[in-house]
Amino acid sequence: MTKDLPTKSTSELNSPEVELSDLFDPVPESTDSLRKKLKQKRKETQQDLRLKKPTVQKLIPVKRPAPKKTVPVVPPSRRHPRLKRAGIVGGSLALLGLGSWIALEVSLPDTTHASYTTTVPAGSMTFKDLGGAVFFQSGPISRNAFKAADIPQKVKEAFLATEDRRFYQHHGVDYQGIVRAIATNIISRNVAEGGSTLTQQLARLSYLNQERSVIRKLREARLAQKIETRLTKNEILERYLNQVYLGSGAYGVGDAAWVYFSKPIDELNLAQIATLAGLPAAPSLYSPLINPEAAKKRRGEVLDRMVREGFIKGFEAAQAKQAELSLKPSSPPNLQDKAPYFSSYMKQQLAKVLPASVIKTGGLTVETTLNLKWQEAATRAVEDTVYLDGYAQGFDQAALVSMEPQTGEIRAMVGGASFKDSQFNRVTQAQRQPGSTFKAFVYTAAIASGLSPNDGYQDTPFVVDGYKPKNYTSKYRGWVPMTTALTHSINIPAVRALIDVGFEPTIKLARDMGIESKLDPYYSTALGGNEVNLLELTNAYGTIAAQGFYAAPHGIRRVFDRDGKVIYNAPSSRKQVLDSSSAAIMSWMLQGVVNEGTGAAARLNRQVAGKTGTSEHARDLWFVGFIPQLVTGVWLGNDDNYKTYGNSGTAAFTWHEYMKRVVAGIPTQKFPELPLLEGRKGSLKAKPVRPGNMYNISPEEAGGKKEGEQEDLH
């Protein structure tokens, strides 16, 4: 099969442009020539691509129909996540802040009784007498406090200018003052100014400690705000000026005026006032007694501030700056305890009626039974007798206690000649033989058993179960009535009366009347052979004065805490232990001792009853006596129990010297009339002693003394 060749027209064939090659099929190229052409073509293509710039084809958006608007449903947990997180954080912070505020409020001390707690500092203790006069204070408390009206205006202005110039504008916390203090301290690069107000300082003094912490400052600020709602500005200023510590043991401006200048605050000049006002910031650093130059510099700063606040003129400040410090240090007038033995006894009694934690916390005000004027009279009587009679009669100590018999309240107590030299209280701690003062209880038991004071005993020597009593004078009168035996302090009848009534009834009655020390059932008990102390002996005599009613001795009436609440009120212990008839008879018999017997030195311009007593070798000299409203006991002797050369008449005279001063303010009152003696029945059942061996001896046989025998008791 032949392939048809392409045909051309005649004209095309005759055309001069027609090539011969166009008339025939091309000759096939070799493989190598074709490969070369392809390679060349590839190179040309690559060169063209490098030379050509790329072109960006603009896209024409295609319009599409708008979708139908729909609100998507979003889960609550995905809505506004940032707002939710902020809410959670804010709520947490709010709860934290509220919790912190509540915790702060709960931790604050109660300010309900701020009128009291800001007056009585924690850790302090104050003792007051019957009339409210302070006679003892301990702890961080002013001994010379003043009312706001009694504090000089310049003193107030000096402290206000220095410590709190916006005192009357703020409500406890001065925010402007805080900013000012921060700025001042930054500029000076030192703590040149504090931001605490006077109220904050009072809050710290009254409720907090000196701890340096943010929590304490926050509590202090909040307490200050509370105080401002309960006290007036004048009350706050008064309490601050009475409590602020001003160095050298001085609390308050009243103390400081004496500590540094020995004068009351109303006599201080401007320079001295400025010196005191500069002390609160650093009492030791600015103390004129320790660092005079620093004190002067600080005084100048105070004066400049007073000028700036318009309290003084410039020339006044200039004059005050030139003044000398004029120091004259001394103790505040009320620093010394005016009744040290009594105060010491009160501390012991407080420990018995209050928990230890309450006493440790302090802030207590104790209303006592003391009469300060009578206490001064008692101190004088004791000091005089030791100074005037002690050397000649061989004693160097004395003690006195005075009580109200109806209540047992102690009105005066002097436990020795000098508390400074010896704190041993001879009223409450010294156990000594009472001598013939104990005869009062023997005869009281005899009278209570139904005997008459006109009944009597043989005053003749005898021996009972080996015991041989004898009289001080070695004289014997035969039969004598009990009233005569007591008046002249005859020993033999007292021992016979004890045997007649019995050990048990006599000792029980003595205990019921107030003797607390151990009493042994010995024959010598009738003559004071057991040991007692002056307080219990005097109180037991008070039972006779109170017509048979016993009242426990005490010196505390009431105790107040810092809130002004009564936390202890002395209970009444009054009870009848002796029938009034027997008490009246004993009062009548004891009057005879003073009027006609051994107690003559105790006489006053009114009725007095009492009894003298002298222990063996006059080691102890006693007198216990009373009027209807007051019973007082006196003891003279030596702590080492060494014998004296005196007699009980000196004790009676000491009693007289005290009583003559105090009875001036006591109305005259008579003892009960002597009751009808005929047909009188006793209130006490006697239990006579049954001696194993008792017999009389002659006065000559009774003359010699045997070792260990009781003698010289009168």
> Residues with catalytic annotation?
163, 436
Q: Which residue is associated with the tokens 């006493």?
A: 359
CA–CA separation, 560 and 566 (whole Å): 5
The neighbouring-strand residues paired with 128 are: 134, 367
CA distance 377 to 374: 5
Phi-psi region of 391 (alpha: psi -120 to 50; beta: other; left: phi over 0): alpha
Rounded to 5 degrees, φ, ψ at 636 are -130, 145
Q: Looking at residue 450, what DSSP letter applies?
A: T
Closest alpha carbon to 174 in 189, 194, 156: 194
Round to whole Å and give the CA distance between 180 and 707.
89
Give the integer Cα–Cα distance in Å for 613 and 541: 13
Which DSSP category does 68 fall into? P
**Quick one: which H or E segment has residue 654?**
helix 648-662
Q: How many other CB atoms are there within 10 angstroms of residue 396's CB atom? A: 18
Burial class (CB in 10 A: 0-12, 13-18, 19+), 22: exposed
DSSP 167-189: TTTSSS--HHHHHHHHHHHHHHT
CA distance 419 to 57: 119
Report H helices in 189-284.
Answer: 198-207, 214-230, 233-243, 253-261, 270-277
Q: What is the dihedral of CA 424, 426, 432, 436, to 10 degrees?
A: 170
Could you give the angle at the alpha carbon of 671 between the alpha carbons of 378 and 664, nearest 5°? 35
Specify the 3-state DSSP secondary structure of 416: coil
Given a contact cutoff of 8 angstroms between Cβ atoms, the answer to whether 517 and 530 are in contact is yes
**204 has which bridge partners?**
none
**DSSP codes joined into one string, 333-361:** TT-S-SSHHHHHHHHHHHHHHS-HHHHHH
Q: What letter does residue 388 receive in the DSSP assignment?
A: I
Residue 462, helix vs strand vs coil: strand
Q: β-pairing, 397-404 with 630-637?
A: antiparallel
Q: For CA atoms 347, 352, 358, 364, give the dihedral sign.
A: negative
Kindly state the DSSP code that residue 275 receives in the 8-state scheme: H
Strand partners, 621: 614, 636
- The encoded tokens of residue 714 equal 């009168």
